[in-house]
Amino acid sequence: MNELTTFGDFNFEIVDNETKAFLEERANIIYGIQSKSAFDIGKQLAQAQEKLSINGYGCFEEWYKSLGFKKTKAYEYINHYLFVCSQNEQSNIEQFESLPKSLQSAMSKPSAIAEVNQAVFDGDITTHKQYKEMEYAWKRKYHSAVRKVAELEERLDDQGKTKEIVKEVEVTPPDYQQAISLSKELMESNKAHVERNAFLERQLSELSEQREKAAKYDDIERAIERGQSHLNEQQKEIAGTKEAVTFLKKGNQFLANFGGISYLDIQSVLPKNAQLRIEVETFATQLKILLDDVNAILGQSKNEILEGEIL
């Protein structure tokens, strides 16, 4: 996938004329080989992208990366192919294929300005540096024209308001028509980019599909978490039931052991043994606290009992 270095910015002044001619000939041959390869590779990538898009698959990026392509290089090939296909004149195609790789890449971008590309075909631009300089100048010119039109329209609006108060007089700034003409010219040039923008919209559609799939995975994970929550609640309920059964077993054993307390002959010794009386009173207090806790539990849960049976 490595690209050969372009010769567009090579300083030929350091070699003689014969060597210069020889190097230029080699460079043109190399450009031809590179361009043919770039066109063929871009064609295959574009066809694969379209096929995956039609079938609703969002895995184009994974596919071309598996072949060793980086994203920038893959779309550079696709742009190269689409640009060649968009040209109606064979002479333009042949001239484009002979250009340095960096200049081809700039011309074939979806955001390329048609007038700057035409300057290349006209022979006014021969290097990537010249291309970027003219492209920057056109962008500044476009934004300046847009601002000027906005300012002029605002001035006309203000003058229109004044005209209603004084008298009806049509006032047009001298540079208004020039700005309008320039704005229309730039707007018309942008129409050429509509088809190229459709390609970018397809890419955004693929990304949207991938995001929808990711959202479905998130829904599955949330469902698993809810199921885990229900499982934890059931486990807590089982543990609570086991604890209640254990408590009842111990309580019933306690009642079995002390059910006949009224028949015990301990009343005669309690007045005589202060320490023993204190211990019995402490036991009675703790027993009362235990009973209060049980009654509190029963009072809190009685409204929650839907159906019950004494076993």
Element (H, E) at 174: none
Q: Are residues 21 and 107 in the same domain?
A: yes
Question: What percentage of the chain exceeds 90 in pLDDT?
Answer: 9
If asked whether residues 1 and 107 sit together in one domain, one would say yes
What proportions of the chain, in percent to the nearest 5, are helix, strand and coil? 75, 0, 25
Is residue 220 in some structural domain? no
Tell me the pLDDT tens digit for each residue of 214-269.
677 777 777 777 777 777 777 888 888 888 888 888 888 777 777 666 666 777 77
The two structure tokens encoding residue 274: 């202060």
CB 182 within 8 A of CB 206: no
Is 208 within a domain? no
Residue 79 pLDDT exceeds 90: yes
Q: Is residue 75 part of a domain?
A: yes
Of 6-20, 129-143, 152-166, 208-222, the range with the highest mean pLDDT is 129-143
Q: How much is the pLDDT for 71?
A: 92
Is the same domain home to 1 and 100?
A: yes
Mean pLDDT for all residues in the chain? 77
The token duo for 289 is 């606290």
In this structure, is residue 29 part of a structural domain? yes
Residue 145 and residue 98 in one domain = no
Whether 210 is in a domain gets the answer no
Provide the domain limits for residue 133.
Answer: 125-191
Shared domain for 55 and 129, answered yes or no, is no
Q: Are residues 6 and 96 in the same domain?
A: yes
Looking at the structure, do residues 69 and 22 belong to the same domain, yes or no? Answer: yes
- Answer with the residue of higher pLDDT: 176 or 222: 222
108 with 6, same domain: the answer is yes
Residue pLDDT, tens place only, 94-121: 888 888 888 888 998 988 898 999 999 9
Confidence of residue 132 (pLDDT cuts 50, 70, 90): very high
Say what the pTM is. Answer: 0.40
Q: Could you tell me the CA-to-CA distances from 290 to 41, 101, 169, 260, 285 in Å, in that order?
A: 85, 90, 101, 20, 9
Give CA–CA dist 186/188, Å, rounded.
5
Are residues 104 and 134 both part of a single domain?
A: no
Is 13 within a domain? Answer: yes
Q: How far apart are CA 243 and CA 232, in angstroms?
A: 17
Q: Look at residues 112, 144, 173 and tell me which one is the last residue of a structural domain.
A: 112
CA angle 189, 195, 199 (to 5 degrees): 130
Please check whether residues 104 and 156 belong to one and the same domain. Answer: no
Q: Does 65 score more than 70 pLDDT?
A: yes
| 100: number of Cβ within 10 Å | 21
Q: Are 185 and 78 in a shared domain?
A: no
Q: Which of 142, 163, 191 is the last residue of a domain?
A: 191
Does some domain include residue 105? Answer: yes
Of 48, 47, 70, 68, whose CA–CA distance to 59 is shortest? 48
pLDDT over 60 at 310, yes or no: no
Tens digit of pLDDT for each residue in 3-29?
Answer: 444 445 667 788 888 888 888 787 777
235 token code pair: 């486990």
Kindly state whether residue 26 falls inside one of the protein's structural domains.
yes
Residues 103 and 182 in one domain: no
How many domains in the chain? 2
